[in-house]
Amino acid sequence: MEYFKITEEELKKEKFEDTEIKLINSLINKELRLKELEKFLNTLHNSDLAKKIMDFVEKISKRKRDSLSRNIVGVIGGYYFTNDYKVIPMKEDREIWGINPEHLQDMVKKNIRVIGVASGLNKVEALKIAVLGGFINMLITDEMTAIQMLK
Per residue in 77-128, pLDDT tens? 777 888 888 887 776 545 556 777 888 899 999 999 999 999 888 889 889 9
The span from the CA of 75 to the CA of 23, in Å, is: 33
Contacts of 149 (CB under 8 A, 6+ apart): 124, 127, 128, 131, 139, 141
When mean pLDDT is compared across 2-11, 117-126, 127-136, the lowest value belongs to 2-11
pLDDT attached to residue 93: 47
Give the Å distances, CA to CA, from 121 to 25, 84, 118: 43, 20, 10
DSSP class per residue in 1-62: -------HHHHHHTT--HHHHHHHHHHHHTT--HHHHHHHHHTSS-HHHHHHHHHHHHHHHH
3-state DSSP assignment of residue 95: coil
pLDDT attached to residue 107: 92
- For 115, phi then psi, to 5°, come to -100, 130
Distance of CA 16 to the CA centre of its chain: 26
Better-scored residue on pLDDT, 20 or 82 = 82
Per residue in 30-79, pLDDT tens? 555 556 666 666 666 666 777 777 777 677 666 666 665 667 888 877 77
pLDDT attached to residue 2: 40
Q: How far apart are the first and last CA of the chain?
A: 32
149 pLDDT higher than 80: yes
